[in-house]
Structure 1
């Protein structure tokens, strides 16, 4: 029993259900982050502080847990994507860095996180996350990827002029290419995982913006609260319908 316990990580298996929930969670991060910063008028800085506190508490709980707990895992993911939303908006808009500058800085931070993680642990594969130190690297890297995704999604939809639907098609198309690479090439599975994980965030960002932005700006003008509740319910239903198991540790 003890040997079986240590043969499992505290992250889920990479199934179709995982990716569906991940995209829904990133979309919820966009609508939820905007609901707090814009609809409640708390601003980007205060919203970032609130979500960052939630993120820290969730990560500590996740690391201290003795086994994979789906609800805790996805709460932590949602915490990373909400803080990523408001943090990126604060840097891009309040600090005036801009979408392109913010994306470049965050991309550099993400690469630095992966490099440091690889040098410290020997691998950045999720199948090797079997210690608190590896988990800490995992969540820091995810936080950077979620923040980058927000900035990248906004840059593509707004600055590059593709709009929300155009940007969604671009990121959806890139994800399709990764799927094809997974099945028909020998490209590193770890590289493909992180590429897909990063790209789901800008996809969720532009879909979230499409749902709640004004019709005049190309959105559907849905209530941010209503969209967030609907997405949260969808995630819960998926969690109930599709059993999620912990990924096995690579030996």
Structure 2
């Protein structure tokens, strides 16, 4: 049974929407509500585990289950990255705040060190995945172990993407719009590489998966940060509410398409369909 979605344009649109919401929602809990990176990371990681259990126990692909896990990895990845890279310095806290929530304020590793640690973790996951002999092709992942490795890679890549996005927005000097344009340009290069078959599509998929996370991070920061910092100052709460509505609308659309596809397959497999139509695959 298929457990993961087809990689289409709609897939990438939903991925960017989910990762942008992950950025604004993570900042909402950690910064706006003042829970801090430490407590928020623990809470969001537990939410990730809960949503992952539901996804792993599902017998077939369900858009609501799948994209809820993507969202939970995006939210957890946001605060995990912030906790690793930031501290209680004035550069990371606003409105005169000197601390956030209970517990450690952050490890203060900085974006380069944090990114290096996350790249190492992601490569280690891919190494274990490769040694297991299981496929990297998303459409062919149907086993429990394969899907578990897939979601570990997703969590690590989303956390790495957050670090990259924050570096582009806050440290590189490009700003939110400049960082987003750079990522869009890199994604355009990946699309071009798909046409010439120079790089395996599996590798292009994972590079794109990492890059769409900083695109979501810079877009989220652009929506929520103050005007003085180059943002639109829409706030984390309002932005998160709008993005959640958009994402749930896309999830409902994907669910309806999945039901229609299953119905078509069932109809073509029925005895009444005739020998010509039996086994024919429909794609919409």
Task: Give secondary structure in 2 for the equivalent of 1:11.
Answer: coil
Cα deviations by residue, 1:205-244 (Å, 9 ceiling, x for unpaired): 0100010011111111112111111111111222333525
Task: Give secondary structure in 2 for the equivalent of 1:12.
Answer: coil
What residue number does 1:35 align with?
Answer: 28
1:164–1:207 Cα contact (<8 Å) kept = yes
Identify which of 211, 227, 241 aligns with 2:239: 227
Any gaps of 5 or more consecutive residues in structure 1?
A: 1-5
Alignment of 1:117-196 (within 5 A): 117-196=129-208
Task: Give secondary structure in 1 for the equivalent of 2:3.
Answer: strand
Identify which of 89, 95, 100 aligns with 2:107: 95
| Structure with more relative contact order (C-alpha pairs < 8 Å, separation 6 or more) | 1
2:135–2:146 Cα contact (<8 Å) kept = no
Q: TM-score, normalised to structure 2's length?
A: 0.82
1:149–1:198 Cα contact (<8 Å) kept = yes
Q: CA deviation at 1:101?
A: 0.8
Any gaps of 5 or more consecutive residues in structure 2?
A: 87-105, 263-280
Aligned pair count? 240
Distance 2:139 2:47 in 1: 26
What residue number does 1:3 align with?
Answer: none
Distance 1:108 1:125 in 2: 22
1:12–1:68 Cα contact (<8 Å) kept = yes
Identify which of 121, 124, 141 aligns with 1:109: 121
Larger radius of gyration: 2
Q: Which runs of 4+ in 1 moved over 6 A?
A: none
1:121–1:134 Cα contact (<8 Å) kept = no
Q: CA deviation at 1:183?
A: 2.2
2:5–2:139 Cα contact (<8 Å) kept = no
